[in-house]
Amino acid sequence: MKKRVIAWMLAAAMACVSLAGCGGQNSDTGTKAAAEDKTTAGEASGGEDTDAETPDDKGAEAEEAGGASAQKDMTASILAEENGTISVTYVKSPLNVPSIVEKDQEIFAKRFGELGYGISYSDLTTGPEQTQALASGDIQFLYAVGATSVILAASNEADIKIISTYSRSPRAFKLFGKDDSIQSPEDLRGKKVAGPKGTILHELLVAYLAGVGMTEEDIEFVSMGIPDSQAALAGGSVDAVLLAGPTAYNMEKDGFPVITDGTGLTEATIVVATSGAYIDSHPDEVKAFLEAQKQVLDSIQADEEAAMEATAKETGLTVDAVKEMYPMYDFNMEINDSDIEAMKKTVVFMKENGMIENDVDIESLIWKAE
């Protein structure tokens, strides 16, 4: 029944354009007569402006163009209704310039619009929330999810595949203290530390403690998101917090001491993921997504200043602050050998520290286009 309705609507759209075209032909008939009269008058006066368009010419062209545009818009709308909406995560932190530029320029909307889809953005930002939404089918693409979160989901036998890299930025992930009294992992013993569980930041903390033989059991870890963690440290209810991106930048500028960043502790690999089932059933959509992701990066490279300005506007940072932070990030979307090795090390690390129980084969976790 739905297909009959769609077919009827498409036919109606075509009919509308045909009627517009007929109207244009009638106008053309009158225009030709007017043009002939004008040519005769022009010849009598020396032939000036004999090729100029009359108002009727312009009106006919506008009507015809408007009809074609209406047909295109209606067709796209009908296809979007039939195909539905593709949901993509929109994560701005730590400093996800590609996500901000993409949404600002509507690159996904335009690319998937060609396939007859609408686009919606999910505000789920933590890794566990994203992977759960992917598993339920509420989201089709995780556009910026920590490799740590993907590994955790895969270890729990979730259907998830990495299709590209989003970024690498170990220096952007940081552990802050409430004052200068915390200088080493030992200083954290028995202290309250807040941050998002099952994420790159969580991995940073566990790796920092492991460097001196400590574990998460030696501290009081409180799982909370970045905004809440920031507020907790500012309010003095915790001793240390895990932060990234603009939040970390602002806290550092406000004088809160950095205990450590991710350098040497985590590669801070962020990836793009979808489900294996979605890849099997929608290969063209996955290909379109990767093409659009590359288009985003090309756009940033073509006009980096505009990208910095858009990011500053969206994050509330100054353009100078964005430019200061931007070099910390590598947004190359190719999954290279070092990415694979880093994720393999993360699997070993997570298992040794009780973050996962089952092994994860990184090679099979990565989808390779044929």
**Mean pLDDT (the chain, rounded):** 83
94 upstream amide cis, omega within 30 of 0 = yes
pLDDT the model gives residue 2: 38
CATH for 171-261, options being 3.40.630.30, 3.40.190.10, 3.90.550.10, 3.20.20.70: 3.40.190.10
pLDDT the model gives residue 146: 93
pLDDT the model gives residue 273: 98
Higher model confidence: residue 46 or residue 132? 132
Region of 106 (left: φ > 0; alpha: ψ -120 to 50; beta: rest) is: left
Q: How confident is the model at residue 6 (pLDDT cuts 50, 70, 90)?
A: very low
Q: How far is CA 50 from CA 145, 332, 369, in A?
A: 64, 58, 59
pLDDT the model gives residue 44: 31
Phi, psi of 193 (to 5 degrees): -120, 130
**Does residue 11 register a pLDDT over 60?**
no
Parse the chain into domains and list their residue ranges: 2-80, 85-169+268-365, 171-261
Cα separation, 138 vs 11, whole angstroms: 32
Domain 85-169+268-365 and domain 171-261 have a common topology: yes
pLDDT the model gives residue 90: 97
The closest alpha carbon to 25, from 56, 49, 52, 53, belongs to: 56
Residues 57-112 have pLDDT tens digits of 434 444 444 444 444 443 444 444 456 999 999 999 889 999 999 999 999 999 99
Q: What is the mean pLDDT of residues 222-239?
A: 95
- Entry pTM: 0.74
**Does residue 351 register a pLDDT over 70?**
yes
On whether the 85-169+268-365 domain is CATH 3.30.930.10, my answer is: no
pLDDT the model gives residue 37: 38
